[in-house]
Structure 1
Amino acid sequence: MLLVPLTLLVLLEPNLAAVHVNLTEGCQIIHPPRDGGIRYRGLTPEEVRSVRFLPFDYEIEYVCRPDREILGPKVRKCQRDGTWTAMGQPSRCLRTCPRLQLSLENGVAVARAMERVPVEGTWAEFSCNPGFRLLGSPRSNCTKTGRWSTPKPVCELRRPFSGPPPPIQPHLASGL
């Protein structure tokens, strides 16, 4: 147990950079997801570049570029067996789509395959309240470009039939 705090002190001490390379206990540095990075708590960028292993119980946090959201574990922790938590679940930075698409006046928009925010792969189904009809596509997908595949539909009030009057029957018109 004394080794863990001592190891962390060695990693955080900038004057002992040569010791970093010899550290072989803990977890190996892992790569960030595409379009993202890793926040190393308590380490400077120079220290991160010189470290090959991080100590047990050390946590990293994935961060994404703007307009992207992490899908999968956002934080990983170095376990006692030298592995990071939840490595069977990939962490990916996916582009987000506007939430505004998921609100529909006089209707309902139901998002499928969505965690916290709509990201690429999320799809929405639209339906209208009774007395309204849907104008537009009943389904839209959040694409890799961060846009919805179809414009947001509209729920329009159904109007009673107001077509031409029925034709007058000749025999009724003449009084027969």
Structure 2
Amino acid sequence: MDNALMTDFDVKCTQLAEQLAEVLKAQKRMLVAAESCTGGWIAKSCTDIAGSSEWLERGFVTYSNNAKQQMLGVSSETLKANGAVSEAVVAEMAAGALMHSPADLAVAISGIAGPGGGSKEKPVGTVCFAWASGKKIFTAREQFDGDRDAIRKAAVLHALEGLIRHALD
């Protein structure tokens, strides 16, 4: 992308992806992403870095519940009990991504980017994250403000920051 056309988000995203690349290359690790509301934006951010095949194994875009179940092994019981936007579901997404790839570090994201789809318990802007490595899974639930684009961008940055943090754990 032409540097003159880069937004603050683009710059920050590129910086985080480059930092993640250095960490994973130094550790000789591979990443897998399981994305719902971000629609593959994490994988896109990683593949913007030349040579990313050295540390990015694959990405799953599992927007529907059916895809989460078929591709990642998320249980229907977990979906029914917690809803797709929940820490329980993203934990299963991350574990499933690791199980269905040779990667050793995973990120999973599911959220309500809007403009509709929110509820009192889970308003628009609710995004759940999981970062997994081996048997360790860390989850978080965040609330982001703004329109659909702003929520998704905030989720991408938060996911990348979490990957760097948890890759160093």
Instruction: Please indicate, yes or no, whether the TM-score normalized by the shorter chain is above 0.5.
Output: no
Q: Name the TM-score, length of structure 2 as normaliser.
A: 0.22
> Which of the pair is proportionally richer in helix?
2
> Which of the pair is proportionally richer in strand?
1
Q: Name the TM-score, length of structure 1 as normaliser.
A: 0.21
